[in-house]
Amino acid sequence: MNKNTIQTGVLLLVCLMLGIPASKAEDIKIGVVNTSRVLQESPQARGSSKALEKEFAPRERDLVEKQKKIKEEEERLVRDSAVMSESERRKAERELLDLQRELKRLREEFREDLNIRRNEEFSKLQRVISNVIDELAKEKGFDLILGENVIFATDSIDITKQILERLDKTDPGK
């Protein structure tokens, strides 16, 4: 099968699914967007990633410092436990356990907060991308734009590059 035969077959299938008469199939303009590529390569996605890194870096550093402190306390307890009294050793073990619990709680809060912020940024990015796709579709006269779950698309209908170019032009960081 050649490329045109496959495109025509897909077009007829889409028309059948949408209830469009086969005679109108040749008039339909279809585009495909590789959304995962757009989400990885757009300047907005890179900007969101950098912003999240900057926002969460201080907390991440604090977690690393707390981990170091716990490791030092563990080493001190192992090293000095033989010369400690029973009550001193129990007190040191309790303090170490409290530090470990606190670190675990802080890590969980960090992960939750990071996930919430990542989802917020992702939602904003999806809206921007959707708006750019809508603008391009209207401007170029597309009848149908497909995104996720497209198994194959020829370069002639893949508009991912055009979307990325527009996102690059609309990047507020430039």
138-159 pLDDT per residue, tens: 999 998 898 888 877 778 888 9
In the predicted model, what is the mean pLDDT of residues 18-35?
A: 72
At residue 22, the pLDDT reads 53
At residue 154, the pLDDT reads 79
Number of domain units in the chain: 1
Q: What sections of the chain are H helices per DSSP?
A: 3-18, 35-41, 43-80, 86-140, 160-170
At residue 2, the pLDDT reads 46
- pLDDT of residue 42 exceeding 80: yes
Q: What is the mean pLDDT of the chain?
A: 86
Strand, helix or coil for residue 157? coil
CB-CB contact of 69 with 103 (8 Å): no
In the predicted model, what is the mean pLDDT of residues 73-95?
A: 91
Bridge partners (DSSP) of residue 30 are 144
What are the pLDDT digits (tens) for 118-141? 999 999 999 999 999 999 999 999
**Which CATH number goes with the domain that contains 121?**
3.30.910.20
- pLDDT of residue 23 exceeding 90: no
At residue 170, the pLDDT reads 83
Q: How far is CA 146 from CA 25, 69, 85, 117, 153, in A?
A: 16, 52, 71, 28, 10
Maximum separation of any 2 CA atoms in the chain, in Å: 92
The model's pTM: 0.71
- pLDDT of residue 8 exceeding 80: no
Of 37, 39, 36, 17, nearest to 28 by C-alpha is: 17
- pLDDT of residue 34 exceeding 50: yes
- pLDDT of residue 13 exceeding 60: no
Q: How far is CA 51 from CA 18, 35, 54, 114, 140, in A?
A: 42, 21, 5, 12, 33
Q: Which domain holds residue 90?
A: 3-170
At residue 3, the pLDDT reads 47
At residue 27, the pLDDT reads 74
